[in-house]
């Protein structure tokens, strides 16, 4: 069960789903409310509602022993889903480049990013989100690094997914992924958990995310992908796929 990041859609996991489905796994991914092909309600752009939406989908499909994989904001969704709904239907969890425990810098979380960073994101979305998605694709995939092999196709896919997200979700999800403290949710994750993160993630810096969350989740396994950016499910898909498959089989 795949939960995608902001401002993308289920399509962000197409490489993982094709790989795993070809090996006999049932793969399900939803477009979060306000994103992709989902409807665009004004309300509910917060992690509690995202988690409850996921729970409703899991119940509707009557999923049992599901492995929940969340990237970025989707990792926060998975953590909050478990925090609110437990692990009765969950076999394992995977957090990839994920936002937990907290992205915002506070007195208790000095390694986080200052609020001005997120105010800047909001201002860019409000000013010209089409241009902003094009700009954001560069650090998202590490294409702004010297010698990076840039795929204009990947950048166009990112832009298309971003533009399919509704304006309210594009804007209000920023508060959701930056200011939601998921520490207590992580403490409730009592299933085998893989925490995977790139050490060159410019969107969700590893120091305030994976390095902390992997210590909070009981018996979590931390896999650091050397040189990988935030969008490593695309740029490092072969390595991510093999790590996922090994974890599923373990």
Which secondary-structure segment (H or E) carries 221?
Answer: strand 221-225
Catalytic residue among 201, 209, 213, 214: 201
Residue 75: helix, strand or coil by DSSP? helix
Handedness of CA 228, 27, 214, 50 (dihedral sign): positive
Whether 230 is catalytic: yes
Catalytic residue among 3, 9, 38, 72: 72
Whether 199 is catalytic: no
Which token pair is 134?
């094009």
Catalytic residue among 4, 68, 197, 230: 230
- Backbone φ and ψ for 4, nearest 5 degrees, come out as -85, 175
Residues 6 or more apart in contact with residue 217 via CB below 8 angstroms: 186, 187, 189, 193, 195
Question: Are the C-beta atoms of residues 193 and 96 closer than 8 Å to each other?
Answer: no
Q: Count CB atoms within 10 A of the CB of residue 147.
A: 4
Give counts: helices (H), strands (E), the chain.
Answer: 10, 5
What separation in angstroms does the CA of 62 have from each of 28, 161, 192, 218?
Answer: 12, 28, 21, 27
Whether 72 is catalytic: yes
Handedness of CA 134, 139, 143, 145 (dihedral sign): positive
Residues with catalytic annotation?
72, 201, 230
């Amino acid at each position: 069960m795949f939960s995608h990041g902001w401002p993308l859609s289920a399509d962000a996991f197409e490489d993982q789903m094709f790989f795993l489905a070809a090996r006999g796994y049932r793969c399900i991914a939803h477009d979060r409310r306000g994103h992709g092909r989902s409807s665009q309600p004004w309300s509910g752009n917060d992690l509690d509602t995202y988690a409850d939406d996921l729970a409703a989908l899991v119940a509707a499909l009557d999923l049992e022993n599901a492995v929940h994989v969340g990237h970025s904001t989707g990792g926060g969704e998975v953590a909050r889903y478990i925090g609110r709904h437990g692990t009765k239907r969950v076999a394992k969890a995977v957090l990839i480049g994920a936002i937990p425990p907290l992205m915002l810098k506070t007195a208790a979380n000095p390694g986080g990013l200052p609020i001005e960073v997120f105010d800047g994101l909001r201002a860019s979305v409000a000013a010209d989100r089409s241009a902003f998605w094009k700009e954001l694709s560069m650090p998202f995939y590490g294409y702004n690094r010297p010698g990076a092999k840039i795929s204009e196709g990947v950048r166009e896919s990112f832009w298309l997914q971003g533009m399919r997200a509704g304006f309210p979700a594009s804007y209000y999800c920023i508060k959701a992924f930056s200011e939601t403290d998921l520490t207590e949710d992580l403490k409730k994750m009592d299933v085998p958990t893989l925490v995977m993160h790139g050490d060159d993630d410019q969107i969700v810096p590893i120091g305030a995310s994976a390095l902390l969350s992997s210590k909070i989740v009981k018996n979590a396994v931390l896999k650091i992908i050397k040189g990988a950016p935030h969008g490593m499910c695309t740029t490092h898909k072969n390595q991510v796929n093999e790590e996922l498959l090994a974890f599923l089989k373990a």
